[in-house]
Each structure stands twice: as structure tokens, then as C-alpha cells.
Structure 1
């Protein structure tokens, strides 16, 4: 199952802020009234611009320089921008729903919320809630027994060496299949273990200290020596891991293995015991996503002393659940992952984290009320019309391609015609009757909620594919492309200002949500999405010549992004970010065409001295605005498939229409000669 997400929506993750727009409602207090016609207000933040910067020198700074200068990153955030503004609005709306529910004992979302904000009970219990897991790990006498405990903990979202999952089979999308992918690292990416760099070395030192402190808090002896051994074990795992660029390749990661294949090709790990404990025994096949990594991880597992493996699994458990334990554990975890890795000085308020927790685990229970209050049918209808306009514009572009063979174009048109679009919310909501929630048992609630979702996924095996399934809560300010379903998904929370305002200038809406729609749609045709046919099947439907020409074009985009250096000495990884950069480029071009289609042949009005074309590009640049603390940006450059906001906006330099809108010439810094502009879709 290949899924793409536009913005990472983490359980306790990225953050919020406020972006105001001149002459409009503040972004955090958007109206739900979609009955009003466009009033003539553009929806742009005029005060957030910097007219001193020429568009052709730095279009990102031209559109956002005032905002960048005058907007601090909140102390409890590692970065700040429009994505966080969207999520903050969603969280605030969700908070009101959940806090109302918390006043009624027996409301599962309300009781879950209460269990997180009840600090007195959490403090009083200390380490007790996870002691049964610690005892089970300590009691293992063999590697086989430890692998069984690892599998049991995986059901509660406690990471071990691998991550099991169930999803559509890429080569047979009408059935579900179990899969396994590499895991096992406490640091976000293998590079943090392996690359020689002073800053990364300091992170490694801090991580070893973090492991030592966790063991000490858990009452373990010889913590420093044992932490060093666990770190050495993780480093050996990192050496076996695939790079993120390789791990995003749909063909490389599709490997059908039987249980016998795991035992023969990755010896040293008790696979039979592990899969049985995962409740996934004797499957006809499993998808082994990184086969050589499994072989390497199994080899390291077999050669590592059992006490080290036990310490490793205990630390994985403590690190996973520290945020739900007493204050010393929670603060120690945040000090490393929040402050050291991301540069964030302060924790987010506990009530806010509680809202995100409940939204993550019981998204449909909260989302149903969210949609009733904040996503009226008129808004859905308007977005549907824009989506169809963007799809039509994509179809026009397919017809004009000069590098694709006619027979491939015909198949591409069939794929486009077969795209499913999900807008706002699911047609049926998930039932949480079987999920047990107690108002005074936070760790138990989280463990049971994770197990509930795990059982739901495993229970899909052997059943018909649910084509109406949603992949995220509707309260997530996010958008998705699901390649094996050949569908794009737009939850209600992203369909709000500043991405989408039903009463704003169509040019700005097309630059915001229109580009997002085009972005997600084009993921179905990017360097990985293109490998899936009209039915969502991983199959080669391009001619070899098509692939050759396409690769020559994408290589130019990789080189363009490789040259960007957001932090001195640290460049963007063009290969890692290729899929997102392709989607940005195509989404922008398609949305621009869709905007002109929406005008119906009429000229766009001039507003504030700007043309419709200029407002389209400004709307896009302002919808991407964000700023990062340097540690967070550095970590992102190592592991995130998205380029930073500034360089994402700079993709305008590949569009002839941007040059025409701003009269950009060869004397300006972003100028590319026509032959150097990357044109694909």
C-alpha cells in the first residue's frame, strides 16, 4: 500500500501559530458561512509581504518577508507556519468538542481526555503502569522468547526491529496483504548514527545520555555501560538499513516472501515465533519491504548478547510510553526529542496534547461532530467543483505532452478518469464500541487503543477491500494520495483558511487549495505513482522510451534541488525529495490552468495593484510560509521527503507563466533560461 501525505500529522507533533490576513478574519477564527459571495477581498496577507525584495530575486521572501521578520516561533514549537495555523484551528475546534464530552462520565473521548490531563493520578502511579511489560521482558530466557515479547509489544505501537502492517497488495489491490518494514532505531534516521559530522556527533552523545537516564529512572544498575551497548546495537542496525531514498521506491520495496523465505534469506531471527505472536502466522505471502535490511538486522540480532537485546527492548518500550508516564520520564523524553533534536524550548500545554491524543486514537468519534459543526455541504460542493476543474486541467496537460507515447497517453487518460476523490469526511464512521477506555488509566487506554487499531488492520486479511476507508482523522489538516486505491483524499480540516476560503478571491484559493489538489493528484503520476495503473496495480504501463524521457526530466529536478543549501554545509537531498518536488511543480502548473478555466474567458480583476496571475502565485507562496529552528531544519534535511518552504516556493522559477506575471529577467537571482526550466506535466 503506497500512501503519500502532504504534511505530517503527529500525535504530539508539529505545532501551531497564528497567521492573520489583512482585511480578513484571522486564520484561527474562520467563519463557516459559505453562502456569502466573494466580497472582493483577496485573502492575501498584504502586510506579510516585503516589496523591497524583487519577486525574481527571492519570491518566497517577496511574498512572506514581513511575516518572517515579525513572527516569532512559539516557545513550545520547533517550527511555525501555515500548516500549523491550520492544525491549530482544528485542534481548538476539537478541544471544545472533547471538553464538552469530558463532562459526561462514560463518554469514551471524554474519559480518554480526562486520563491524560489527570496529572495527579499519573504522578502517583509512576512507573507502575509499564512494570508488567518490564517484567515480561526481563523474564525472557531466550532470543525466541524475546522476539515473542517484541511482537506482543508491537501491537501496542512499541517499536522493535520491524514494523508490521496490513494494507492493499500493490500488485493485487483488490486484496489485503501483511507487510513488514525496517525499523529499530531510536534516532530518526540512519544518517544520525553513521555520518561524520560535529553536530551529529553531539546528538549521538546526547542520545546515549538519554538512554542512560531512562535506565536510571527505571531503577536499573550500570546504566551508562548498558546504554552504550544498546547504542552500539542500534548503530549496527543502522548500517543494515536502507536509505530513505531507496525505501520510497515502489518496485524495490515490493518483495513477496513466504515464511520460509524469511527463514532462509534472513537467518538468525525466530521468524516463525515472531509472526505467530503478531497474529500473522502462515500467510500465503508477506511483503518484505527492505529485504537486505531484514537480513542485516537478523544477523545483528543473532550476534548480540541477550542482556543487551533485553535492555534494547525495554528502552524502546520506555521511550514509546514515556509521554504517558510520570513527569521525570515525560520531561526526559521531551528534553531529548523536543529540545535536543528539534530545538523546542518548552512542552506544549497538556490540554492541547490531550486533544491531539484523543483525535489520533478516536478520530471518527470526534470527527463526526467536527464535520457537523464546521464543514457545511456548501463547502464540500465548492471543493468538489474545484477538484473537477483541476482534474480537467490535468487532462488537458496530458494531451499536450510531447515526450509520452500515444498509447501511454491513452492509459494515462484512463487512470485520470478512474481517480476516486474523497472530500471532507467518510460516508460511514468507525465504531469504537469494543474499545475500553477508563478515565484513570492513561497507559492502559493508549495500549488498548493501539491494540484496537492493530486488531482492526489484521482483521482485514481475507476480507473484501473497503474502498470507503479513510486513512486519517478528518480533524487532520492534511491531504493524501493513495496510489493502490488511485484516489486523493482531503479531510475537512485542510479545507479552511488560509488554504481554502469559500469567500476569498478565486486566484488565491487556486494558489492555496488548488495547488494542494493538483499536488495530490500529480502524486498518482510522479516517479513512484506512475508505476501504478488505472486500477492501482503496481505494473509497468509506460514504454521504455517514456521512462527514459521522464527520468531525464526528473534528473534535472533532482540536480536543481541538490544545489540548494538551506543551512551552510547541508544541502537538500534531491533524490529523497523528488516525489514532493515533482508534485509541487505539477500541482502549481495544473492549478494555474484550472484558475484560468474557472474564469470562463473573463478577465481577472486587478486588486491592490496585482493581477489575477500575480495573486495566484502570491497565494501559493503565502500558503507555504513557515520557519524552523535550525536543529529542526537540519533534522528535516536528513529525513523529510519535503524540501523546506522557501525552496518549495522557488519551483515557480520553472513556470513560464510566473516569468510573464512578474516580468522576471536574466539579471535576477531566480531566473532560469528557458532551456533550463524543468517542464514535465
Structure 2
């Protein structure tokens, strides 16, 4: 359960009228001006398939690495970040004193993972205390204590989140837990999903056998049946995006009245959040139905389920047979990945998850150029100004709603590169000979950290991503946009590239994150992050008409035979993409107004290079099984649709590439969706 989006100082900076000049001191990484024109597909018309026009030859010649689900800039930058972090980890192992207390912690955590011989020698023994705790459960009260404890699976998750009513304070929240497969893999008809379910049943039995759990076959049947029952009552990913329906605040007594089968007071007390004056009951109808399943399912089955899930969820930290079994099902079968990643790469990922900000602090000191932060700040303010003009010039928004939208826009808080302060991990106990224990203790450390913050005002300086993460996000509960250091690299941001390309790439990414503040979810939150309505009924209706039209467009795209994009599931991201590109284009026009119209380069105008920058940023090639999983579970559209689905709604793209009726992507002007 995730209550607010995470992909992607209240700003008092004056809005800039014109874009800054981007410093160009050397050769861009991609091509002669920031775009790799050798990636273009000869013979493809931009109006028929713009993504292939920009990236088709690259896709033809690019092989997805055997240990990856995809290829493209995100993967390239993630690999670069991993290599940089590995250099830091190796140095910490040699010179821990140079990095303070965190250096030894990080070195020991990484060493515990890399000690394959020790992990094999210990066998399944590290599991014993955790499985013994499950085995010792004598009643459903004790079972619910485990549900609310760190490291154990649960049908009902307990979380801490900023309050919807007062985002300066924290609230407790409960919602549906995760299953052993994505919900739709249990429910979708067809041979492909029948095969997934059969493979899952085999995996459930196998992972128990590896742990020495008796009667694994019969238990596997009961476990899969239990998860199937839970899947049938859980909310879909699309339903879980509906903020209005998610928002069901209850007292503990109210929770008890709706789902009396659960001991809510006990679970909330175990989780340490029973002092919350109210609890957000997310996915309420699912929790009501899960309560009935909880009551009807024998205690023994729940214990078997918890034991299986504990082993499966932590198989990566156990001997190779466990690790391989988990990889074979989740990566090879579900995602189509043929080879396991090198161990050091997975170790970097693990350390980033456990001690990410300590690693990030060292990463920023060594790899992050401060001049990138200055240029990004200027770009962000230009995008803000472009959004301001678009909102002021909106033909469908009435004056009252327009005024409120501008207040929210002005309150956007950008964060760039890295946190102002980093998490102190000194109380986390790390043992070089206990990787499983390190992971469990890390989870408990994070929980205790959240509990320490719970009674205090929300700390707006906290980050949901580490600096070494190749991503960005918008948080509607704080009205903040965040751009970690690792994404501020080519092809997204290159200080040596043509400005048009930077505006089409990182400019559109900035615009995308700003756009989340005005998408179908973010638009329900005000300038301080409070859930509040700042729309008049007419403006809300007009907004709904336009967003429904955009969702309808994406519903028609079919990236896999028989599998179309879910327009409602991806609506927020698609709104972000469309608004981001249009706002970035407006900001680029401001740049040209101040610095002169971009000259023709390689026969390409500035406007053409802008859209090429956007297309190149989404140069992604995916495995079929991974794409299937994305279509079912991910609110982001596949890369081809992120490019083609956006540009066909942007009037400037038609003019830049002379798109005409008869071209496959052509939409008549009245069919094009314009929101911001």
C-alpha cells in the first residue's frame, strides 16, 4: 500500500521571464549537439511513429543485457551509479575511518552480503528464530502481533503518512497488504496467466522444501488458495489511485465496526501508532472482506502462509539454492530475465536500500558537480513561469480556480541533488557475519525512525529517494518536486548539449513533476499539501472531460498483442508527460526570445531538436514479460506511448515536422487534448 506518490523551503524565488543560457564548455555526450542521430530509423516518418523515428535504429542494434528487464538511458545511468557506489564501497572497506562510523557500517553490511562461503556454511540456520516465532503462535491475537511486526507478511499493512487533513502532522493508515504475485496475475484469464499460476504453485512448494518445512505440497495448495481469495477482494491498481475513495478516516472504534474480525487496537499498538487520533482506512471494502477471510481461514494456514512468505521474501539473503529459486520465479518466469545480476551489483542495491543516505552523502561529495544544481534551479523557475503563463491563458479554467492554481504553483518547493541533512544510522547494529539479521535490523531501524518522527511535526527536509537514484518525484502531501543527483546527467541533462535538447529532455521531466501537482490525483491537494477542493464545479467538470479524453486515447494503445494500456491507471503520469512537454516547449520559446532563435544544426531546427530530445530521453527497450507486468501494475505508460501519445497532442510538433492528415499519429485539432 502506498498512500502518496514517490517516482518524481517554500520557494520564494522570483519567477524568471526568460530562460538562462546553459553553459557549454565541451562536447555533449550524445552526438554533436546532444542527440544521437544515428539512432534514427531510416524510412520511418515522424508522423507515423515518432518514437521509432528517433530511436528505431538504436532499438534494432541494441540487445537487452541478460541480467536486465530493459535497456536504455535509465539502465545506463543506473549502471554508472552502481559502479560509482561500488568504488565508494571498496574504498570504505579499505579505509573505513575516512568515512566515519557510517563507513564501517556500510563496509560491514556489504561484506556480509559478499561472504557467499559464510552464507552457504550457515545454511538455513539464520531462518530458525524467525520461523520458530511463527511456529510459537497459539492464537489469532498472537498472529496479528506478527502482522504488525517488521519483516513479516500481512493481509493488512500499517503505515505512517502525513495527514490528509493536516500535512504538518503524521497519521496512521491501514490498507491491503502485498501478495506473492501481483493481484492481476492471480485473476487474469488465459493460458499465459494459467502458466504463471502453475509456476507460482511450484515455487511455493519448492521454497518451503528448501527451508525444511514438512508437508510442503499440501501447504502450498492451501497458501495459493488463500492468496487467490485475498486477490479476489483486493482493489486493483486503478482503484487504488482514487484518492477520494482511499480517504476513509476512522477511529479505532470505527475500524472495529467496519471490520470487527481484526483486533485493530492490538495491531496499531504493536506498530506503535495507537496514539493516532484517527486512522486512514485505505481500500476499505478490501479490508472489510479481508477481515472475513481472516476469520474463516484456520490459524494453521495463516502460520504456513507467514512461514512461506518469510522464507520467500528473504530468500535473496540465504544460500544460493534459495536465492536461485526466487530469481527463477520472480525474474526469469515473471519478467523474462535470463541471467542473475552479478553479486556485487545486487550488493550495491542492497546497501543503497539499507544505508542509502550514508552512501549518498559520500556519492554527492565525490560525483555531484555543484554547477548542475545552479543550472537546474534556473530551469525549474523557467518551467514554473511557463506553467504560470499556461494557467493564466487557459480557456477552460474560470477565474476562481485559476487564482487557486497559481497559488499552488507559486508554492511548489524544488529540491535538487541531495538532502540538506542526512539520516544518522549510528544506532543500526551491523554484523559482518549475519546478512539476514542485518536486513531485518535495517527494516526495524527504519520503523523506529518513523516512530520517532510520528509525534513531531512533519519534517519537510526528508527525501524519499537517495541522491544516487536515477529518478525524480512529486509529493502531493508536501507540494515538493525532487530531482536526485544521479538523474542530472545525459541524455536528461547535459550542460554541453544544445539548449533545445535540454529543454526537451530534463525540461520536460521538470515539467512532468510539476504537472503531477495538477494531475487527477495531485489536483486534489492544495498548496500546503492538504487534501482540499480548490476547484469550482464547472472547472472540475471541464478538467474531467479533458482528462477522460486523454485516458481514452491511451486505452487504444496496444503495446503487446491483446494487452492495451490502462488509461485510468496511467492517467496521472500521462497528464504529467503532456503538461511537461508543453510547458517545457513554452520555456524554450522564452529562451529563444532572450538569446535569439536557435540556428539550424544538422538540418534540424531548434523546435525539431526539442522534440528529438524528448524522444531520446525515452529510449527504452523492454522484455515482453516485463512489459506485460508494467501494463498490469505500473502507472507509467511504456516508453513508446510516452513519446507518441504525447507529441500527437502538441500543436508545435505538427508544425515542426510537417505532420499531415493521413500520418498514423495525426489527430485533428479538435481531437487533441490540451490540459495545461
What TM-score, normalized to structure 1? 0.94
CA distance in structure 1 between the aligned counterparts of 2:593 and 2:669, rounded to whole angstroms? 29
Alignment of 1:269-668 (within 5 A): 269-601=262-594, 602-650=596-644, 651-668=646-663
Q: SS of the counterpart of 2:508?
A: helix
**Residue 95 in 1 paired to residue 86 in 2?**
yes
Contact 2:6–2:464, Cα closer than 8 Å, also in 1: no
**What do the CA deviations read for 1:460-509 (whole angstroms, capped 9, x no partner)?**
11102211111111111110101010110001011111111111111111
Contact 1:626–1:645, Cα closer than 8 Å, also in 2: yes
CA distance in structure 1 between the aligned counterparts of 2:525 and 2:273, rounded to whole angstroms? 27
Contact 2:473–2:513, Cα closer than 8 Å, also in 1: yes
Q: SS of the counterpart of 2:614?
A: helix
In the TM superposition, what is the alpha-carbon distance from 1:383 to its structure 2 partner? 0.6
Q: SS of the counterpart of 2:648?
A: helix
Match in the other structure for 1:61 = 52
In the TM superposition, what is the alpha-carbon distance from 1:159 to its structure 2 partner? 2.7
Q: SS of the counterpart of 1:488?
A: strand
Match in the other structure for 1:26 = none
In the TM superposition, what is the alpha-carbon distance from 1:139 to its structure 2 partner? 1.2
Q: SS of the counterpart of 1:489?
A: strand
Q: SS of the counterpart of 2:372?
A: helix
In the TM superposition, what is the alpha-carbon distance from 1:2 to its structure 2 partner? 5.2
In the TM superposition, what is the alpha-carbon distance from 1:599 to its structure 2 partner? 2.1
**Residue 235 in 1 paired to residue 245 in 2?**
no
Contact 1:35–1:378, Cα closer than 8 Å, also in 2: no
Q: SS of the counterpart of 1:394?
A: helix
**What do the CA deviations read for 1:388-416 (whole angstroms, capped 9, x no partner)?**
00110000000110111101101111111
CA distance in structure 2 between the aligned counterparts of 1:563 and 1:272, rounded to whole angstroms? 47
Contact 1:2–1:483, Cα closer than 8 Å, also in 2: no
Contact 1:561–1:572, Cα closer than 8 Å, also in 2: yes
Select between 398-407 and 595-604 the one with higher mean Cα deviation: 595-604
Contact 1:2–1:482, Cα closer than 8 Å, also in 2: no
CA distance in structure 2 between the aligned counterparts of 1:518 and 1:213, rounded to whole angstroms? 47
Contact 2:172–2:280, Cα closer than 8 Å, also in 1: yes
**Residue 164 in 1 paired to residue 158 in 2?**
yes
Contact 1:161–1:182, Cα closer than 8 Å, also in 2: yes
**What do the CA deviations read for 1:278-331 (whole angstroms, capped 9, x no partner)?**
122242111111111111111101100111100111111111100001111100
Contact 2:148–2:157, Cα closer than 8 Å, also in 1: no
Q: Please, which of 6, 25, 40 is the counterpart of residue 36 of structure 1?
A: 25
Q: SS of the counterpart of 2:169?
A: strand
In the TM superposition, what is the alpha-carbon distance from 1:220 to its structure 2 partner? 1.8
In the TM superposition, what is the alpha-carbon distance from 1:5 to its structure 2 partner? 3.9
Aligned-pair Cα RMSD in Å: 1.5
CA distance in structure 2 between the aligned counterparts of 1:184 and 1:142, rounded to whole angstroms? 23
Q: SS of the counterpart of 2:526?
A: coil
In the TM superposition, what is the alpha-carbon distance from 1:41 to its structure 2 partner? 3.2
Contact 1:624–1:649, Cα closer than 8 Å, also in 2: yes
The alpha-carbon distance between structure 1 residues 60 and 573, as it changes in their structure 2 partners (threshold 3 A), is same
Match in the other structure for 2:136 = 139
Match in the other structure for 2:674 = 679
CA distance in structure 2 between the aligned counterparts of 1:79 and 1:490, rounded to whole angstroms? 22
Gaps of at least 5 residues in structure 1 are 8-32
Match in the other structure for 2:664 = 669
In the TM superposition, what is the alpha-carbon distance from 1:600 to its structure 2 partner? 3.2
**Residue 179 in 1 paired to residue 180 in 2?**
no
Match in the other structure for 1:130 = 127
What TM-score, normalized to structure 2? 0.94
Contact 1:104–1:110, Cα closer than 8 Å, also in 2: no
CA distance in structure 2 between the aligned counterparts of 1:170 and 1:102, rounded to whole angstroms? 44
Gaps of at least 5 residues in structure 2 are 9-21, 97-102
The alpha-carbon distance between structure 1 residues 452 and 34, as it changes in their structure 2 partners (threshold 3 A), is farther
In the TM superposition, what is the alpha-carbon distance from 1:38 to its structure 2 partner? 7.2
CA distance in structure 1 between the aligned counterparts of 2:643 and 2:267, rounded to whole angstroms? 46
Q: Please, which of 59, 63, 67 is the counterpart of residue 76 of structure 1?
A: 67
In the TM superposition, what is the alpha-carbon distance from 1:150 to its structure 2 partner? 2.3
In the TM superposition, what is the alpha-carbon distance from 1:163 to its structure 2 partner? 2.3
Q: SS of the counterpart of 2:238?
A: helix
CA distance in structure 2 between the aligned counterparts of 1:269 and 1:167, rounded to whole angstroms? 21
In the TM superposition, what is the alpha-carbon distance from 1:4 to its structure 2 partner? 2.7
Contact 2:598–2:606, Cα closer than 8 Å, also in 1: yes
In the TM superposition, what is the alpha-carbon distance from 1:437 to its structure 2 partner? 1.1
Contact 1:169–1:177, Cα closer than 8 Å, also in 2: yes
Contact 1:499–1:512, Cα closer than 8 Å, also in 2: yes
Q: SS of the counterpart of 1:362?
A: helix
